[in-house]
Amino acid sequence: MASLIACPHCGPRPKEEFTIRGDAGIVRPAPDAGEDAWHAYVYLRDNPRGRHKEHWHHTSGCRRWLVVERDTMSHAIHAVSDASTEGATA
């Protein structure tokens, strides 16, 4: 059975319709932030176990950015919301 993501705009859709951007909790540094802050933003990422929020783009559907909470060990999807309603910008 295919893994389905419950898009809030299109309903349940196969995960192959989506593109993953990555961690939804990363905050972009200010333009005048130092080199260390930019290095950390661009190159350093955690690899968490368990529930994790990520930005996903519904590339083959409504083309909206979503925040998907999934378990990185089991790949189970726990929650999906529109990124704009979470105050996130993708």
Q: Report the predicted TM-score, pTM, of the whole model to 2 decimal places.
A: 0.81
CB atoms inside a 10 Å sphere around CB 68: 22
Looking at the domain that runs over 4-82, which CATH code has it been given?
A: 3.30.2270.10
Parse the chain into domains and list their residue ranges. Answer: 4-82
Structure tokens at 8: 């809030």
Read off the pLDDT of residues 2-52 as tens digits, 9 standing for 90 and up: 689 999 999 999 999 999 998 998 899 999 999 999 999 999 988 889 999
| List of residues 6+ apart from 33 with CB closer than 8 A | none
